[in-house]
Structures are given as C-alpha cells and as structure tokens.
Amino acid sequence: MSAAVEPCLRLSGLRRLSGEVTVNGAKNAALPCMAAALLSDEPSRIRRVPEIEDVQRLIDILRAVGARAEFADGEVVVTPGGECGGTPPDELAAALRASFLVMGPLLARSGRASCGAPGGDVIGARPIDVHIAGFRALGATVETVGGRTIAEAPRGLSGATIVLDYPSVLGTENLLLAAVLAEGRTRIVNAAMEPEITCLAEMLVRMGAKITGAGQHTITIDGVSRLSGADHELIPDRIETGTLLIAAAATRGDVCLRGVRPDHNEALLAKLAEIGVEIRREQDQLDVCVDHMAELQATNLQALPYPGFATDLQAPITALLTQVEGTSIVHERVFENRMQHLDELRKFGANIIAGGAAPVIIGPTPLSAALVRGTDIRATAALIVAALAAEGESRVYGINHLARGYADLPGQLRALGADIEQLPTVDTLNS
C-alpha cells in the first residue's frame, strides 16, 4: 500500500465519469444562516447543511459567543439563549472568513460586538471596509484595537441608506443581519445579488424580519423589535454543482446531478454550452454528456459578482480549458491574487501564458500525471479536475483546503467511477 507524509489524494486519470450524484447544501448559505440564528432567543434549525470544516469552525465560534450549537444528520440546531455576546477567540476568527458574520447579529441584539481579523483563503487582500462603513451608517461607532474590530451602539441601531462601495457578499450579509433589528427602514444599495443572500433573507423572513429585494441591487429592510427561531432548508451548493459539471466535461463524462438549481448556474451553463458541452436541464437536475469524439472549443470569460461567472469556478474551469481546442482567456475580476493554481496546472503539462489576472490558456494539451499542491479550496478542486484529465497517477496535496468547502468531492467522484483515494499518512501507518 502506498502512503504519504501528509494527507493527499491519489488519482488515476483518463477515466470517463459516469453515473448520478446528489449535490450537498451550499457552504456559503450555511454560514450566514447559522449566524442569523443568533438574532433570536429561540432555537433555529438549519437543514441540508454540508459536512465541511468551515461549518464546524463556525459552530465553535457560535459556542464561544454563548450559543448552544449542534450538528447531526445534516442539520444544525442553534439555541442562542438570552446571554449571547463576547468576542470569539482570535484563532477561531482567523480560521475562516465568515467568522466576521457574528458581528451583525451581536451588534443588533446587544449593542456591542467584537471580532478578530477574519481569515479564509489567501486569494487577495480581503478588506472589511464595506462591513465597517455599513455598521457606522446604522449608527454604530467602530474602532480597531489590537487587530480586533469593536462595534458599539448602546442605544441600538437606526435604519439608514447604505451605499456599498463594492457588492461584497459577506458585507451585504452582515449588514442585512444587523439591519433586521434596527429601528426604521434600511436600504442596502449596490448589494451583492448571490443566491446565498436570497437564502439568508428567506430564513430571516421566516424568523419574522421584513425584507424585500434580496437577490436584487437594492435590499429594503424594515426593522422589527424581535425575531423568533426558524426552520430553514439551504439551497444546493452551486459551486459544488459547477465543479462536478466541469469535472464531467473534462473527462468527457455522462453524469446526472440531482438536487440542483440550474438557474443558479446560468453563467457557467452558458459558457459550457459555448465550449460545446451539452447539458440537459430540468427543474432540479442537470445531465451532462460529452461524446469522447466531440471537439470542444475555446472561450473567453470574466469572473464577476453574481450573476456573472463565479470567481469560485474560475480555477476549475481553467483546468477544463486546457482540454479544449484553441486559445482561451480567463479574466479574474473579483480577487486580485487568485491565480496560484496556474503553476501547478503547468506541472501537468498545461500550456498557460501568464497574463496577471488574465492568463491565456492554449489547448488542447495532453496532460500527464503530476505531484501538485492546492493553496485554497477552489485551487485544490481545479487540480483534481486536471488530475482526472491526466494520464497516469497524480498526487494532490493541500486537501485540508478542500475539506473546508466540499463535503465529499473525492467520494462523489469515486461514485462516478473515478479512481481516487486519500492515501494514509506515514504516521497513520506506524501508529
């Protein structure tokens, strides 16, 4: 049996993916909805929660600020009680970006919130100025002391018109979470429009909040004085959906994805159609089938805020574009440092000309097995896509990143016929 010094995936490529899998609930909807539960004294139940490390980390954070939180059988139950408050330990805050989402609810509920610098993937500067400007517009004083952000509004928050400098996803969510208990009307202008924001707003409305316009550029919130608990099911993960579609296309597969929302993946579906990947869509199902003789064509794309092409699928589709005929340009316009997968893709033999945030991919190039390392969640997924399309046995390191965002991508791929396994580490073998 082979082993590795640190956890890694072993993959043998050039196997056509085929079969059916069901997609998990959305990571990026689970996190804000769990934070929303802090807004009430009553318990909230969130269903279809993916088993990923970021969920576990946020549970630890919710507990650290005084809530009870349990995760079993795909459901998270959060019971905040009356005494929630305090600061999450800095190392927990630094473990994920969404840790900062406790700020909005705690500020709204208790008039005070503080949190250390949020962590997450290292894909750019990732400032929090949009959140801070919004809290100030709602009447809070905000200062940074020793790396922690402290927001205070002892007399409560007051509704305001907040114009976001950038349609930040977590920024919009944090301000929505703060505004639902503010006095009067709040308008969030230039809001992010991602489906995860609509999912959060739906949970808040179930809790008794008054919100219109979620999923559009301007969200209007009429503050209420208290919220109840809610029972809420998450939307399917559109990034997991996209990754599986891209993996299927890269292996010229025949795959059916169940439990999906095709309308949340319009930009990807349009690009795949342009490349020549045929996809049949039903209300909650996508069937992708690529003939092994089909000639796939190059395309250009820009990663943008929703409904544009998702930045979280930029790295995975780059791996696919190494397998299509012609020259593609992929322009990353959301994060300034999200190209760390390119050097790793070149180790498989990919022909990619560096172009800053807009590399040029020349295809098709036959890929051959490589030993590579993912540096963030989606970069690691991209390397898995490349390994599936490469001849021979690859090893993909950095799978701790993968576990943060995908419930079981290797297991789903195995169910579709991929030859993929996590290698035991030398330590595990010796113990």
**Residue 293 CB neighbours (<10 A):** 6
DSSP string, 137-157: HTT-EEEEETTEEEEE-TT--
* By the rule CB under 6 A, 126 interacts with ligand UD1: yes
Residue from 61, 93, 98, 379 touching ligand UD1 (CB under 6 A): that is 98
Q: Choose one: 16-24, 121-129, 224-232, 265-273; the region binding ligand UD1 (CB under 6 A).
A: 121-129
Structure tokens at 174: 């944090």
Q: Does 168 bind ligand UD1 (CB under 6 A)?
A: yes
Does residue 125 interact with ligand UD1 by CB under 6 A?
Answer: yes
Least distance in Å: CB of 46 to ligand UD1?
15
Q: Decide: is 268 part of the binding site for ligand UD1 (CB under 6 A).
A: no
401 scored as a contact of ligand UD1 (CB under 6 A): no
DSSP letter at 44 equals E
Instruction: Collapse the DSSP code of 20 into the 3-class scheme (helix H, G, I; strand E, B; otherwise coil) and give the result.
Output: strand
Instruction: Spell out the residues 6+ positions from residue 136 whose beta carbon is closer than 8 angstroms to its own.
Output: 142
Three-state SS for 31? helix
User: Quick one: which segment of 105-113, 124-132, 262-270, 318-326 binds ligand UD1 (CB under 6 A)?
Assistant: 124-132
* Residue 184 engages ligand UD1 in binding (rule: CB under 6 A): no
User: Residues 283 to 342: which contact ligand UD1 by CB under 6 A?
Assistant: 311-312, 334-335
Phi and psi based region of residue 69 (left: phi greater than 0; alpha: psi -120 to 50; beta: remaining)? beta
256 binds ligand UD1 (CB under 6 A): no
Among 31, 138, 290, 407, binds ligand UD1 (CB under 6 A): 31
User: Does the bond joining 410 to the residue before it have cis omega, within 30 degrees of 0?
Assistant: no
CA distance 386 to 400: 18
User: Within the chain, what is the greatest distance between any pair of CA atoms?
Assistant: 68
Nearer to ligand UD1, 35 or 370 (CB): 35
Tell me: does residue 198 bind ligand UD1 (CB under 6 A): no
Cα torsion for 344, 348, 351, 355, to the nearest 10°? 0
Spatial separation of the C-alpha atoms in residues 25 and 45, rounded to whole Å? 14
Shortest Cβ 166–ligand UD1 spacing (Å): 5
Does 136 sit near ligand UD1 (CB under 6 A)? no
Which of 30, 78, 128, 320 binds ligand UD1 (CB under 6 A)? It is 128
Asked if 235 touches ligand UD1 (CB under 6 A), the answer is no
**How big is the site for ligand UD1, counted in residues (CB under 6 A)?**
22
Question: Which one, 106 or 423, has the nearer CB to ligand UD1?
Answer: 106
For residues 5 and 117, what is the distance between their CA atoms, to the nearest angstrom?
A: 31
Task: Decide if residue 169 touches ligand UD1 (CB under 6 A).
Answer: yes
Q: Give every CB contact of residue 222 below 8 A, 6+ residues apart in sequence.
A: 159, 184, 185, 210
Question: According to the binding rule CB under 6 A, does residue 234 interact with ligand UD1?
Answer: no
Asked if residue 100 binds ligand UD1 (CB under 6 A), the reply is: no
Decide: is 217 part of the binding site for ligand UD1 (CB under 6 A).
no
Output 45 or 126, the one with its CB closest to ligand UD1. Answer: 126
- Note whether 157 and 179 are within 8 A (CB): yes
Query: What is the Cα gyration radius of the chain?
Result: 22
The tokens of 168 are what? 């930040």
Assess 252 for contact with ligand UD1 (CB under 6 A): no
Measured from the CB of residue 338, what is the shortest distance to ligand UD1 in angstroms?
Answer: 8
Contact call for residue 258 and ligand UD1 (CB under 6 A): no
CB 236 within 8 A of CB 219: no
Residues within the interface to ligand UD1 (CB under 6 A): 28, 31, 97-98, 124-131, 166, 168-171, 192, 311-312, 334-335
